Amino acid sequence: MTALDIVIMAAGKGTRMKSARPKVLHRLAGRSLLQHVLTTAAALAESPRIIVITGHGAEQVEAAVRAPGLRFVRQQPQLGTGHAVQQAVPELHDAGITLILNGDVPLIEVDTIRGLIAACAGERLALLTVDLADPTGYGRIVRRGDGIVGIVEEKDATPEQRRLREIYTGVMAAPTAPLKRWLAALRNDNKQGEYYLTDIVAMAVADGIGVTSAKAASEIEVLGVNSPLQLAELERRLQRRRADVLMEAGVRLADPARIDIRGELVCGSDVDIDVGCIFEGQVELGDGVQVGAYSLIADARIAPGSVVEPYTRRRGA
């Protein structure tokens, strides 16, 4: 099997969060942004090799997610995305595929990543892209015909390039040997004085290595978090998606906009859930359970036919 190294960038300060907490440790549906990404990465292989790049609040981030086999490298100072991945080079296999993920893009799906890895196939540079109605803030995909010839960061883009709607999500898969060569050749002669990982696209083209793309199945998979507003919006979108899954399975929700699942909720048949309920950890509701408004249930199994009174607080058992 081709060796797979998974690099997760988690060094940024997250200035727009206006918080002393490192951005990747802010919580979405009860888990940190970074933990969401780590869980997805761990599902890609039986014993995946995962390298997390830390920087701002490195000790706090590493302590929060430390696990057996998880490797950390530090980016200090932070001089751009290319500089970040340069720090991981000593940890990468000499051959195989390197997958690059972002610690603040928490909802990417396993199947989407597998499609990206398949597009790479150890031979091509594969970029995960998506078309956005409003691509503001994202690097734009530049094509010549059907082929990708570059990515331009918005702050360096021309007005014409800013009108492009296909964006680079920050996720890529690359053959490791040429990736190491491209990273070593990065320069910082741009407006920000940073080393852009996206510059390797032009290097791949110059080397005659194909640059391909895979499309994310949905926009929510590739949405990043840079502010409390974006975090709140993503929380509601995720919770609504979970609510829709429950209702499609027959669960009756008094208001699908007012439920919070911060873990895993398993429901039997004919379950009714009133407004404002929170479910944490592993929760199972048996057949015919009725949950009253504004209840909190954590790590519990509720027996079939039970009626949970409004404002109940129940943890365990």
pLDDT for res 1: 55
Domain boundary among 222, 257, 292: 222
Q: d(Cα 91, Cα 88) in Å, to the nearest integer?
A: 5
Report the range of poorest mean pLDDT among 65-74, 76-85, 120-129, 153-162. 153-162
- My answer on whether 184 and 253 are in the same domain is no
- My answer on whether 254 and 171 are in the same domain is no
In a domain, 45, yes or no: yes
Count structural domains, the chain. 2
Q: d(Cα 306, Cα 290) in Å, to the nearest integer?
A: 6
In a domain, 240, yes or no: no
In this prediction, residues 212-218 reach a mean pLDDT of 92
pLDDT for res 145: 83
Q: Would you say 236 and 256 are in contact if contact means Cβ atoms under 8 Å apart?
A: no
- My answer on whether 210 and 267 are in the same domain is no
How confident is the model over 151-172, as pLDDT tens digits?
A: 888 888 899 999 999 999 999 9
- My answer on whether 198 and 288 are in the same domain is no
Q: Would you say 230 and 28 are in contact if contact means Cβ atoms under 8 Å apart?
A: no
Q: Which residues is 298 bridged to in the sheet?
A: 280, 315
- My answer on whether 289 and 184 are in the same domain is no
Q: d(Cα 317, Cα 314) in Å, to the nearest integer?
A: 9
- My answer on whether 117 and 217 are in the same domain is yes
In a domain, 239, yes or no: no
Tracing tokens 């919070």 back to the chain, one arrives at 260
Q: Would you say 123 and 189 are in contact if contact means Cβ atoms under 8 Å apart?
A: no
> Within 97-169, where are the H helices?
110-120, 159-162
What are the backbone angles phi and psi of residue 61, rounded to the nearest 5°? -65, -45
pTM of the model: 0.92
- My answer on whether 197 and 273 are in the same domain is no
**Higher pLDDT, residue 156 or 211:** 211
For the CA atoms of 148, 150, 156, 159, the dihedral, rounded to the nearest 10 degrees, stands at -30
Residue 44 has pLDDT above 90, yes or no: yes
Whichever domain contains 291, its CATH number is 2.160.10.10
What are the backbone angles phi and psi of residue 234, rounded to the nearest 5°? -70, -35
Q: Which domain holds residue 86?
A: 4-222
* Catalytic residue positions, numbered: 16
